[in-house]
Structure 1
Amino acid sequence: MPNHIDRPQLFGHPKGLFYLFFAEMWERFSFYGMRALLVLYMTKQLIYSDEMSFGIFAAYMSLVYFTPLIGGLVADHYLGYRKSIVLGGILMAMGHFFLAIEHPIFFYGSLALLIVGNGFFKPNISTFVGTLYDQDDKRRDAGFTIFYMGINIGGFLAPLVCAWIAELYGWHYGFTLAGIGMLAGLFTFTRGLKTDTFGEEGLPPKNAGLALKFAGISREKIIYLASFASIPLFALVIKYNEIEHYIVWVATFFIIGAMIYIYRSVSGKAKTQLLVTAYFTILMSLFWAIFEQAGSSLTLFADRNVALVGMNAAQTNSINSFFIIALAIPFSWMWTKLSVKKMNPNSAIKAGLGLVLLGVGFLVFALGGHQADEFAKTPMFYLILGYFILTVGELLISPIGLSKMTELSPPKYLAFIMGVFFSSSFYGHFFAGKIAKLTAVKGDANYFAQGYFGDLTHLISGLDPTTTFEKGDAFQQLYSYASVYAGFGAITLAIGVVAILLSPIIKRWMAGVH
């Protein structure tokens, strides 16, 4: 591995980190700005049902994290990180701008452009961060936490600004603003390239053969053409999202097959370390399946059953990012200080604690049922407190997971393993859509929670199906949300405890990586 200590430094970290920080910040501004509007746009403007909207949203959000598997492979073997990030940024900017045109072809086509573009952008910019540090650099976790803060500055500002613009001038102005944010991220990244901040990092592999021609077309152009050609396919999958489970099976067999191949091609401690990357990916899939009710059912919950003060439902998507911004630097400082004192918990324990806190956060959302008013509106305090708790959980598992992937992965397959890690969001969003659909009321009292979970819902929220059914539609909807959040919150908490108990075994498998 090259030594990076002589690279330009800023605030104790490689200067390139901050170019990637701002590029990712603006890209996430575009992504979260659109995400905050999407479900509300479908239910209020396009007049789609809750179930249809959740199906489209889940298909879009899961596929956004499926394509990084392909984008990571293409970057590893052909384009390199730089070209992949630029290609992804261009496709995503086009997607945001086309979403401003209200027509089914542009609606589904725009989502498909965002899916393909994110596949090239997301895994490779995160992997790029890892290349800025030596393998044993103690600043690595802190650097990824700072990078993670950049993600969430964009995630905080976007729902506030895009939702405000959308409410004031119209939905399509909000989507356009998201597109402008993507262009800003692309400009920031290319500025870093022009100033030679990254040295030799991120260039195409020397044996990529991008200039080789097939039928008179270079390999590089074939990749670009194939990327655009895949857009109609993804648009159809989003429109007919009930077939998405076939993609889940195909992706699963592909990932398992690829991981077996990589496992057989490495030796020694790299084998057990590869198993740990799979373990963390599974935990992250569980985490995102629950966490990503934000943007779908939690946004509608805030719209229908929370007494909001000072913001609308779309803008509540910024609460999580606000807490990450507030906590990222303290957490970064804390990990560094604890490492110096040799008291920093290992990553396996942090992952388990992250799941525990995620579960507690969703129990808090349900807890607000005790103080619901006559309109079935719960105090906003519970929404904010729940988001705070699950944000602390997120900071324990997600940025640390990103960091560990760059340490535990075989260097030859680094971007692909990062893509596998991001597949946790693919699986998470797929199952998050299934969970969100459980919150939809279908005109009767057939709720998710029965038996033990019904008792748990009553204990946590103070609500029961008989009483809420008698009080009308608003209370039926509140009970539906509370039952799902209480039930899955308890399940997640229990899984987190099991993960903590397994942490000594995982620590041994990590073979020296903390």
Structure 2
Amino acid sequence: MSLKEHTIADMNTERDVPLDVDPTGPEMFGHPKGLFYLFFAELWERFSFYGMRALLVLYMVNDLLFSDSVAFGIYAAYGALVYATPVIGGMLADRLLGYRKSIMLGAVLMSIGHFALAVEEPIFFYGALALLIVGNGFFKPNISTLVGTLYKQGDARRDAGFTIFYMGINIGAMLAPLVCGYLGAEYGWHYGFGAAGVGMLLGLLMFWNGTRTGVFGENGYPPNPVRLREKVAGISRGAWVVVCSVLSLPVFGILLYHGILEVPGIGDTELDGHLIDYAMYYVLLPAIAIVLFINLVKESKVERQRLIVVILLTFFITVFWSFFEQAGSSLTLFAERNVDLDLNLGLFVWEMNAAQTNAINPFFIVLFALPFSALWLSLSKMHMNPFTPVKFALGIAQLGLGFLIFSWSANFADANGQVSVWFLIAGYMFITTGELFISPVGLSKVTELSPAKIVSFIMGIWFLSSSFAHHIAGIIAKFTSVSGSGDQEVSGAESLLVYTTVFEQIAYVAFGFAVLALILTPLMRKWMHGIH
């Protein structure tokens, strides 16, 4: 048998499917059938992720009896790391594992992590979070990349397909806090964490069933199965990935445990000294810049310019998320202190609480995802679909409009500084439509513009933008602090002024970045070389 024949035989054995399978896979509802398997796999994975996240700080404060500052520090460190590991997971998938094996490994690790949270011991707590961090690194960038492989380059259905996929993310995000939060509050924390674990198992089973039935076609296999099975020190390369993943767990656990320690000479408060932040800015960011520079030098002119466009899009998505992530901090406190949360729906009045306002965004995503998916297809048929940089500019502008609505609400406040919940809902609606212009479209373009051999690595960088955005969002949120000094209380009118002033500034800065995106559109369009 020739070397070529041997390689083909090895690949066939690895894939366990015939070579004449349609590489795009079967279709359903006008899209590759594999899209809907990935839709439900991601839905349940996001259910587990957001369900756990909804309980995490409450669990640390009320059950583990951590102080607020320690709980916030661990939560911040977890958020930074969980969005940083996809860079490593993406690189390993591109060069060794392939998308399928990476997704399966990540799903298994996260399933174990969710169930480990149900054990009320500190070592299990930190170990569980470490499992979720490592597992997310393998799962998150590669399932999004696998969606992109289902569509050929230039396929007009691509943006619509990613919008459908994005809807699955937000269905899980909307349901998770309701279900897991209810179980955690009514029956105990382990029931809430257990429900998140069950959700992750359902996602794992859905993806496994998709691989078994062949709906992903020829996509997502290891780039070189022979190399994957080669032994190093008596252990295959694939097994080494698993071993190193397990060995990394104590490292992440220690980073979480010490994530709030003060660095000598840096900062004057406990939370200003995050080791995680300094590791990101002085280690991770330079390392990524070096790897990107090396890849830029190695690629052809067309691929190099397309990669620069991806970097610019990543910059703009970081700006977007930095403002968007006020939802988990300043906007939630604004809702608690200055919004009348009695929602009059005609037949009944729903007495919301501040935490529940975080469901408004995923609700609108679910409501608008399919119409937006149809919109992109219709505009493509009429040759009127805006170019990606224009969509980014419009998305950031809509986010700015949402914050401007929050700011305008001050003109309609009552004597106690309370504004109608409809201002909050209207603002979130425009923030959400802005998100639909940017996030699913951005996912689609990352898979289309990135060089094939590093696409998962670039997808990891795309998700890493959320890590830096969370840090920037925290800095912005500090400007809305209205707690006063000591036990001094601040009136509703005073807190309303602080919040709405900052929200107005966010709006104007967002409009500025939208204009910048429009200015760069001609150059970015040219460097996309025919990709819309």
TM-score, normalization by structure 2:
0.85
Whole-Å separation in 2 of the counterparts to 1:489 and 1:40: 31
Aligned to 1:389: 430
Contact 1:42 1:53 in 2 (8 A): yes
Whether 1:269 aligns to 2:287 is: no
CA spacing shift, 1:175–1:296, aligned 2, 3 Å: farther
Deviation at 1:377, TM superposition (A): 4.5
1:237-386 to structure 2, matched below 5 A, reads 237-239=255-257, 240-241=259-260, 242-249=274-281, 250-309=283-342, 310=350, 311-372=352-413, 377-386=418-427
The residue type paired with residue 248 of structure 1 is M
CA spacing shift, 1:171–1:368, aligned 2, 3 Å: farther
Whether 1:93 aligns to 2:116 is: no
Whole-Å separation in 2 of the counterparts to 1:91 and 1:478: 44
Q: Secondary structure at the match of 2:373?
A: helix
The residue type paired with residue 353 of structure 1 is L
CA spacing shift, 1:257–1:397, aligned 2, 3 Å: same
Choose which of 463, 470, 473 in structure 2 pairs with 1:422: 463
Whole-Å separation in 1 of the counterparts to 2:79 and 2:488: 36
Aligned to 2:345: none
Choose which of 75, 82, 91 in structure 2 pairs with 1:57: 75
Choose which of 239, 252, 270 in structure 2 pairs with 1:221: 239
Choose which of 130, 134, 151 in structure 1 pairs with 2:152: 134
Whole-Å separation in 1 of the counterparts to 2:75 and 2:295: 33
CA spacing shift, 1:253–1:6, aligned 2, 3 Å: closer
1:21-36 to structure 2, matched below 5 A, reads 21-36=39-54
Q: Which runs of no fewer than 5 residues in structure 1 stay unpaired? A: 446-468
Identity %: 53
Q: Which runs of no fewer than 5 residues in structure 2 stay unpaired? A: 1-19, 261-273, 343-349
CA spacing shift, 1:78–1:248, aligned 2, 3 Å: same
Deviation at 1:115, TM superposition (A): 1.2
CA spacing shift, 1:162–1:207, aligned 2, 3 Å: closer
Deviation at 1:119, TM superposition (A): 0.5
CA spacing shift, 1:6–1:67, aligned 2, 3 Å: closer
Aligned to 1:448: none
CA deviation string 1:164-217 (max 9, x = no partner): 223322344222211111111111000111112223211112256232333333
CA spacing shift, 1:420–1:343, aligned 2, 3 Å: same
Whole-Å separation in 1 of the counterparts to 2:484 and 2:406: 23
What is the number of equivalent residue pairs in this alignment? 490
Aligned to 1:511: 529
Whole-Å separation in 2 of the counterparts to 1:486 and 1:45: 38
Deviation at 1:396, TM superposition (A): 0.4
The residue type paired with residue 343 of structure 1 is M
1:426-437 to structure 2, matched below 5 A, reads 426-437=467-478
Contact 1:163 1:315 in 2 (8 A): no
Whole-Å separation in 2 of the counterparts to 1:279 and 1:202: 27
User: Which range is displaced more, 310-319 or 27-36?
Assistant: 310-319
CA spacing shift, 1:56–1:142, aligned 2, 3 Å: same
Whether 1:105 aligns to 2:146 is: no
TM-score, normalization by structure 1:
0.88
Deviation at 1:356, TM superposition (A): 1.4
CA deviation string 1:459-505 (max 9, x = no partner): xxxxxxxxxx9973666555554444333333222211221222122
Contact 2:183 2:192 in 1 (8 A): yes
CA spacing shift, 1:511–1:134, aligned 2, 3 Å: same
Contact 2:24 2:218 in 1 (8 A): no
CA deviation string 1:98-130 (max 9, x = no partner): 223344333333222211111100000000001
CA spacing shift, 1:163–1:88, aligned 2, 3 Å: same
CA spacing shift, 1:6–1:354, aligned 2, 3 Å: closer
Choose which of 217, 222, 231 in structure 2 pairs with 1:199: 217
The root-mean-square deviation of aligned C-alpha atoms, in Å, is 2.6
